[in-house]
């Protein structure tokens, strides 16, 4: 057996580029028949750092994890429909190597282990289902928040009321969600996820299940994930973005009303509260070159500014909703929701009247501000930062463009959420092209270009991430080590790895392709 993956370097690698003394782990995974088991996630959790490394078993069932920091480990397998005993309290010292083999047994497939799209296709059609999907799936799927718990009718009514009154997300009055719709959702949740549930015990009991399973390609087996736990429950981390010192900042969209800072070398997460009373719904936390951090509060329509000297947040009220931030080289703060520019010197907002409903944002080499309109009939647009003149481009498909990335050659790429396509704008010619993703209903959300010119995207509905090659127009998709991923955006660190957050799983981390050996 010659394992094909090598975990090259984790965040605790010394800044000089040399790798400190570290532990390693190899082994095999076999199925119930004793044969090598392919594409099982082997997850090694350092309980001291609250950090988990996830790799996939190869075609021979082999796996390898190198450069693990010394500490106390729990090792487990994640393979839907199978189980193995977790290995607890395994102490690894520096330079120590562990060999660990796993033998899987069959296990029931649970409803909270499947993807959002599988749930949409397999959960029974009944009154309230369409209303539930249309309104609840905007921020999370059903796996962690619904299929993982059992509540009676009053319990589900309480949860729906909480989302309407406290979180004010997609169920808020501004979206037109009314009492009748709330009762439809309560009725459906009670029918599906209560003691008297009408669901089969396992989605695999349904004939249609087999046709919904994602098939992992050989090349996709080489991905590695490293993630860290948030410091408390229900933080709902939205993104993770590095600052100039290599620390990672995360907006917490949940009730905590905080932003957090991760030291990936120690696993320490420090939180800073926003002054806002009530759910701020912090959507972005973007480090500035001066060491401060700018944040958006989607719930309260405010920008916030964290001062590294006082370690406190000052807020600036606006009348337009706030989503994503881009700090302009001239010092002004651009934000989407309604596209606005904030001048920190005068503490005043300017609204871009021609762009009242925007989401993605990026800058080109001339520092023009590009944006997407995430709505029916939404366009891709650009603003001259001096004249504030807006120019818009119409995609061939009405696909609700979401995230946007400007490549080094100033070609603009965007994810079309409803159309499951990747779009391209050539600013010189004004042409707009589209590229189909491998499967329908992918709903691409996060989007970022890496140093090799490849575009990485997350699938909101299918629990995969993808790598799109602009040169060939082809995409390769990779499985995720958790269900209900909810990734919103990717940010590269100094080593070129892409950082993400998984709100429903309460984790932040990064992924990269391993080096073969």
Q: Does residue 452 carry a pLDDT above 80?
A: yes
Pairwise CA distance, residues 159 & 190, whole Å? 11
The H-assigned helical ranges of 19-90 are none
CA 473 to chain centroid, in Å, comes to 23
DSSP type of residue 220: G
| Residues 235 and 252: beta-carbon distance below 8 Å | yes
Residue with tokens 């309480």: 158
Q: Supply the mean pLDDT for the chain.
A: 92
Of the two residues 110 and 2, the one the predictor is more confident about is 110
| Residues 466 and 437: beta-carbon distance below 8 Å | yes
The CA–CA distances, whole Å, from 394 to 73, 382, 492 equal: 52, 12, 29
* Sequence-ordered list of residues with C-beta below 8 angstroms from that of 419, at least 6 positions apart, any chain: 395, 397, 398, 399, 400, 434
Pairwise CA distance, residues 268 & 51, whole Å? 10
Q: Does residue 492 carry a pLDDT above 50?
A: yes
Strand partners, 457: 447, 466
Pairwise CA distance, residues 272 & 287, whole Å? 14
Residue with tokens 């420090």: 270
Pairwise CA distance, residues 424 & 434, whole Å? 6
What digits encode the pLDDT tens for the residues 195-221? 999 899 999 999 999 999 999 999 999
Q: Does residue 172 carry a pLDDT above 80?
A: no
Task: Output the CA torsion sign for 278, 284, 287, 290.
Answer: negative
* Sequence-ordered list of residues with C-beta below 8 angstroms from that of 283, at least 6 positions apart, any chain: 238, 251, 253, 295, 296, 297, 298, 322, 323, 324
- Please state whether 456 falls in left (phi above 0), alpha (psi between -120 and 50) or beta: beta
Confidence of residue 19 (pLDDT cuts 50, 70, 90): very low
Pairwise CA distance, residues 210 & 422, whole Å? 28
Residue 124 CB neighbours (<10 A): 12
Confidence of residue 485 (pLDDT cuts 50, 70, 90): confident
What digits encode the pLDDT tens for the residues 374-400? 999 999 999 999 999 999 999 999 999
SS (H, E, C) 53-122: EEEECCCCCEEEEEEECCEEEEEEEEECCEECCCEEEEEECCCCEEECCEECEECCCCHHHCCHHHHHHH
Q: What is the mean pLDDT of residues 62-84?
A: 95
Domains and CATH numbers, the chain: 23-107 (2.60.40.1120), 111-211 (no CATH), 219-513 (2.130.10.10)
């Amino acid at each position: 057996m010659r394992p094909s993956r090598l975990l090259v370097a984790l965040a605790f690698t010394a800044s000089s580029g040399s790798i400190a003394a570290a532990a390693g782990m190899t082994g095999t995974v076999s199925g119930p028949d004793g044969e090598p088991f392919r594409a099982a996630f082997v997850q090694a959790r350092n309980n001291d750092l609250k950090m988990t490394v996830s790799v996939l078993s190869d075609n021979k069932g082999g796996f390898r994890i190198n450069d693990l920091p010394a500490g106390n480990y729990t090792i487990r397998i994640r393979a839907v429909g199978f189980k193995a005993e977790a290995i607890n309290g395994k102490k690894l010292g520096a330079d120590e190597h562990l060999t660990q083999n796993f033998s899987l047994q069959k296990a029931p497939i649970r409803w909270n282990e499947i993807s959002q799209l599988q749930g949409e296709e397999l959960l029974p059609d009944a009154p309230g289902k369409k209303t539930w999907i249309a309104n609840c799936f905007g921020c999370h799927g059903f796996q962690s928040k619904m299929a993982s718990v059992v509540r009676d009718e009053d319990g589900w009514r309480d949860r729906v009321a909480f989302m309407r009154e406290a979180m004010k997300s997609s169920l808020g009055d501004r979206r037109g969600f009314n009492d009748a719709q709330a009762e439809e959702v309560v009725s459906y949740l009670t029918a599906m996820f209560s003691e008297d549930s009408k669901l089969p015990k396992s989605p695999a009991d349904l004939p249609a299940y087999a046709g919904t399973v994602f098939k992992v390609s050989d090349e996709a087996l080489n991905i590695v994930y490293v993630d860290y736990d948030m410091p408390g429950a229900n933080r709902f981390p939205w993104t993770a973005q590095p600052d100039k010192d290599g620390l990672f900042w995360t907006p917490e969209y949940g009730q905590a009303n905080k932003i957090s800072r991760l030291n990936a070398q120690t696993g320490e997460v420090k939180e800073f509260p926003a002054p806002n009373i009530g759910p701020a719904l912090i959507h972005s936390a973007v480090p500035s070159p001066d060491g401060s951090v700018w944040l958006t509060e989607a719930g309260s329509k405010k920008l916030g500014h964290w001062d590294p000297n006082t370690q406190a947040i000052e807020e600036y009220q606006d009348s337009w909703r706030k989503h994503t931030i881009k700090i302009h080289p001239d010092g002004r703060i651009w934000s989407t929701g309604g596209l606005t520019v904030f001048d920190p010197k005068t503490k005043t907002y300017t609204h871009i009247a021609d762009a009242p409903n925007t989401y993605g944002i990026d800058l080109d080499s001339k520092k023009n501000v590009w944006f997407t309109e995430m709505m029916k009939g939404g366009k891709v647009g650009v603003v001259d930062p001096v004249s504030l003149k807006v120019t818009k481009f119409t995609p061939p498909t009405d696909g609700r463009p979401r995230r946007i990335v400007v490549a080094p050659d100033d070609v603009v790429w965007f994810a079309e959420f409803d159309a499951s396509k990747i779009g391209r704008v050539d600013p010189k010619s004004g042409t707009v092209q589209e590229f189909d993703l491998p499967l329908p209903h992918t709903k691409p959300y996060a989007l970022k270009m890496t140093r090799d010119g490849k575009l990485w995207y997350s699938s909101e509905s299918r629990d995969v991430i993808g790598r799109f090659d602009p040169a060939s127009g082809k995409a390769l998709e990779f499985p995720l080590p958790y269900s209900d991923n909810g990734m919103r955006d990717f940010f590269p660190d100094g080593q070129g790895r892409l950082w993400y957050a998984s709100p429903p799983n309460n984790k932040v981390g990064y992924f990269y392709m391993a080096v073969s050996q």
